[in-house]
Structure 1
Amino acid sequence: MAFSGLCEAYLDFCQGRFQPNTIRQKAFVFRSLVGFVRADFEAATLTTTTVEAFLAEQRQIRGPKAANRDLPDLKALYNWASRRGLTPVETARSIAMITSYPEERPRKYIPTAEDFNRVLMVAQGDERDLLLVLYHTAGRRGEIIERLTWEDVNFQNRFVRLHTRKRKGGSLEGRTIPMNQILHDVLWRRGQHRDQDSPFVFTSAKTGGRYSREAKKGMMTRLCHIAGVKPFTLHAIRHLVASILSDSHKASPRQIQAFLGHQRIDTTEHYLHEIRPMDNVVAMLEQPLTTESSTKSSTNNETEAV
């Protein structure tokens, strides 16, 4: 089977199983590989040497992170093909052995509550409402901007239903978030002036419907510049909320896990580990050594020497 035919069959299989943007990314990778080889080729003849040379070129052009994103798509293609007998199992195994490039992962910046409030003060209209809803639900960007509908808002029982595809296989799953008074007031006001032709809580003025994935891309850069604070992303608000809940000592890790919608507690712990300040730890070193502690230290050293 030709590589182009294999890709076409695989992308047909992906329809309905992955988000459209994911399928577009896969198609881009496959086209790029054909462009690198400069011709269509037999799918079974693809070698690790060719794939590694292709990834090396992508690394030079787009950087190691982009090249590392391309590799899993090629692995997934040949795993799928080998399971169906379309390509030899050995081809899939050899491609699976290719390793990713080392990356310098940028340090995540999490704003302070003061910086978030400064941005909130300069935001207006839909942008201010969006920030408030993101903050009071700890919702993911896509859960609020792309998927939150009025059917998900229950004023009588005071909760909202958020939906995410961040699950293995891309299944859409939901979780219930209670409404506090601020969230209730924001959504109630929006509901009174909603676009009756759109089911979405946040409706695109351009299309009259769902916001695209790229919507609001430059919003935070602009607002942070106006507010005079270090730029942070919409997703960083979610980290800020987790930080506030953790520092309050009024919410257990399991409660924070449920609120953030993590399937595994270790994901939540990773969040908290990233944001938990070390100030209280290093502050302990500023305390003067007491005579008692010095004596104990001396005694322990003598014991170890014996």
Structure 2
Amino acid sequence: MAYRMKSGRFRAVKMISGNRRTATFATKTEARQWEAAQSAEAWAREASPILTASSAATQYLDDVQARMSRQTYIEKQSVFRLLFRFISVDIPIEDIGVGQSMAFLSAQFKARGGNAANGDRKNLCAWWSWSVEQLGVQAPCPFSRVKKFPENRHPRIVAQETGLRKILDEETGQMHLLLLTMLHTAARAGETFRLRWDDLDFERRTVRLWTRKRKGGGEEFDLVPMTEELAQAMLEHKKNARSVFVFTQDNGQPLHHDLDIMDRLCKKHGVPRFGFHGIRHLTASMLDAAGKPLALIQAVLRHKSATTTAKYLHSLRGARAELDDVFRGAEKKAQEGQLLSLQKVFGA
């Protein structure tokens, strides 16, 4: 309770859980207000170290690196590099305001466009949500208060049948098989690069694809059909295998995105540039052109839905037959010069 000292000032006293604090004020009213404002929660916050934005970002990136793909980690790391050129690394995370968030994202919009600015916004909102859950941050996310910016969406470059046919006709060995695998399984590039021989079941004719394209970033696998043509090509390739990985560099390590494989292949064979993901879209396009139902295309692309195990297994068996049907038909038409040729993998 506040009391008057000999000096004429007033001393405020507060005791919480055996801990005593005091302060002096010019008036008794000020002393009592100070006493009323004291609480165990307030003392605990004062005793806790200040969480800086850079510390929270470092901890978040460590978690991303452990749980998510390398590409996701690099993307998020680049966002923080930009952010900390704009704000101090020592700023407490809860001191980042809407004004600073707006200024940063607006600068990115002007410099890099709406797509990039909205991508940064999404990554920073994910960081903030993680910090709330894992680090106890209490302030609301300032980045989510910034409205999304207008975007100029460019259509994804889908591989053209004629361009891919030319590459497949002229390439042999591993590169031919790599593209054939992506075309017949609709696998993503990273999933294909990580393929091991024990992921291939030649008896059941399935391919096990490991993916992190799930909530939480943990690795899960999907079983996809292995067409007859792909199975024969894989068996031929396996005869000369010297690594646990199906597709390798000269040192036996798996291929990776940084090698710019498609850029070099397109340039080498004189075809319009397209990326690995364009092949995945081409698979879907070919199935659609062949009149296959949407549900089957979704099963081939492995877009998750709340289906039962029985329905999934049924789709898998059906998808294998449908894929064989489409690609056998494609090969026949290619011989007539109309569609993509999916012929012998290893040529002379």
Smaller-chain TM-score range?
Answer: 0.7 to 0.9
> Offset of 1:113 from its aligned partner?
2.6
- Taking the aligned partners of 2:62 and 2:189, their CA distance within structure 1 comes to 28
Q: Answer yes or no: is the 8 Å Cα contact 1:112–1:240 preserved in 2.
A: yes
Contact 1:122/1:226 (<8 A) preserved: no
Q: What SS does structure 1 have at the residue aligned with 2:280?
A: helix
- 1:180 maps to 227
CA distance, structure 2, for counterparts of residue 24 and residue 231 of structure 1: 24
Normalised to the residue count of structure 2, the TM-score between the two structures is 0.67
Partner of residue 69 from structure 1, selected from 100, 112, 119:
119
Deviation per CA, 1:57-95: give whole Å up to 9, x if none: 2334433322222212221222223345643333x2x32
Residue equivalent to 1:294 = none
Change (3 A) 1:108 1:45: same
Aligned residue among 105, 109, 112 for 1:55: 105
String of CA shifts for 1:105-137, please: whole Å, max 9, x gaps.
112233443332112122233211111111121
Q: Which structure is higher in helix share?
A: 1
Assess, with a 3 A threshold, how the Cα gap between structure 1 residues 141 and 98 changes in structure 2: closer, same or farther: same
Alignment root-mean-square deviation, CA: 2.3
Q: 2:83: which partner in 1?
A: 33
Shift of 1:50: 0.9
The reply on whether 1:234 has 2:276 as its aligned counterpart is yes
Identical positions, percent: 34
Change in Cα spacing, 1:21 to 1:242, as seen in structure 2 (3 Å) is closer
Relative distance call for 1:85 and 1:180 in structure 2 (3 A) is: closer
Give the Cα–Cα distance (whole angstroms) in 2 for the partners of residues 231 and 9 of structure 1: 38
Aligned counterparts of 2:221 and 2:63: Cα–Cα separation in 1: 25
Q: Is the aligned partner of 1:98 residue 2:139?
A: no
Larger Rg: 2
Matches within 5 A, 1:146-185: 147-185=194-232
Q: Relative to total residues, which structure has the larger strand share, 1 or 2?
A: 2
Given residue 235 of structure 2, which amino acid in structure 1 is its aligned partner?
W
Quick one: distance in 2 between partners of 1:220 and 1:24?
21
The answer to which of 11-20 and 185-194 deviates more is: 11-20
Question: 2:60 matched to 1:10?
Answer: yes
| Aligned partner letter, 2:185 | T
The one-letter code of the counterpart of 1:187 is M
- Amino acid in the other structure paired with 1:200: F
Superposed displacement of residue 260, structure 1 = 1.6
Give the drift of 1:254. 1.9
Q: Look up the match of 2:71.
A: 21
Give the CA deviation at 1:54. Answer: 1.5
Structure 2 unaligned residues grouped into runs of 5+: 1-50, 307-348
Distance between the aligned counterparts of 2:72 and 2:267, measured in 1? 32
Q: Which residue of 2 aligns with 1:283?
A: none
For 2:205 and 2:135, locate their aligned partners in 1 and report how far apart those are by CA, in whole Å.
Answer: 53
* Unaligned stretches of 5+ residues in structure 1: 266-306
Q: Which whole-Å CA distance do the structure 2 matches of 1:257 and 1:112 have between them? A: 21
TM-score (normalised: structure 1): 0.75
* Displacement of 1:176: 2.0
Change (3 A) 1:179 1:48: same
CA distance, structure 2, for counterparts of residue 154 and residue 17 of structure 1: 27
Moved over 4 A (4+): none
